[in-house]
Amino acid sequence: MGSPAKVAVLAAVALVAVVLELGLVGANFQDDCDITWEPQNAKMDEGGNHLTLSLVSNSSGSMLRTKKQFIFGSVSTRIKLVKGNSAGTVTTYYTSSIGDNHDEIDFEFLGNETGQPYTVHTNVFADGVGQKEMQFRPWFDPTADYHNYTIFWNECMIVWIIDSIPIRVFRNHSAQGVPFPTRRQMYAFSSIWAAEDWATQGGRVKTNWTNAPFVAEYRDISLQVCDCASYGGAAGCPETCASSSNWYAAPDLCQLSKAQLRQMRAVQLGYTIYDYCADSKRYNGTVPPECSMPQY
């Protein structure tokens, strides 16, 4: 046997391997979430492990929010996206704080015409500052079956993961003046809504409302997080959740493994369709400072 500290770190690493690669079914939508917008368009069954969110009109979608607020950890769910012509629809899975200068970590899935691929849109906001988008084409049909979407977040980095594969990392360079979310407690959200003015091919393709309702399906939810309610709410949460004793703060979890890095580079090489760090026109010939800083 090793020292207690070493055993604890190894246990944490083993746990995060499960979280990142498989997801953990430790919660369900019925017990651990609330429908905060258009509850008539949300349905749950199978004891709360299966959820559908429907977009009925250009002003009537639906949104689910976790009851827990948290700083750091892993949140994941399995999603089967809208089938057929989904142009103008946006299905989401993200975390966000509430209030001014908010923090947010996004998975958004932008629909398309029948036969055309979805766009997987990722972004991060910190202290109200966003515009850090990366977009990908999925290497699978996200409407044919469920796929696991995970957001892993600690003081070192944010990782976006599809099934077992990390697709993006955003590292904490706050010491160099780059905003990074470390202080505001977040909820996890799932939603479907209409965005035909921009979502599909820059808004050129509109929603065909004769196909409504548009239905996204969710199955299982995992919340392996630092629950702020356990530490006196917002006041005590940032300091306690930053403690090095938490599983997600293990030293090995401040970077991807070599195998994960190879997987991510393969995805980014083959499936990236937009990277804000490569869009110098947007920034008048330059790019944001973090684009020249190591992310991996």
- Which positions are annotated as active-site residues? 104, 108
Q: Are 250 and 9 in contact (CB under 8 A)?
A: yes
- Of 200, 120, 131, 130, the residue nearest 163 (C-alpha): 120
Residue 29 is which amino acid? F
Q: Which residue has the tokens 């979280």?
A: 19
Q: Is the peptide bond before 213 cis (omega within 30 degrees of 0)?
A: yes
Q: Kindly state the tokens that stand for 260.
A: 């994960």
3-state secondary structure of 51: strand
Residues forming a β-bridge with 214: 55
The rounded distance, in Å, linking the Cα atoms of 156 and 295 is 10
- Give yes or no for a contact between 139 and 270, defined as CB atoms under 8 angstroms apart: yes
* Secondary structure class of 230 (helix, strand, coil): helix
Secondary structure element (H or E) that encloses residue 266, with its range: helix 258-271
Specify the DSSP element, H or E, that contains 7: helix 4-21
| DSSP notation for 182-216 | -SS-BEEEEEEEE-TTTTTGGGTS---GGGPPEEE
Strand order in the sheet with 165-171: 42-45, 50-55, 214-227, 70-80, 147-153, 157-162, 165-171
Taken as a whole, the chain contains a residue count of 296
CB atoms within 10 A of CB 64: 26
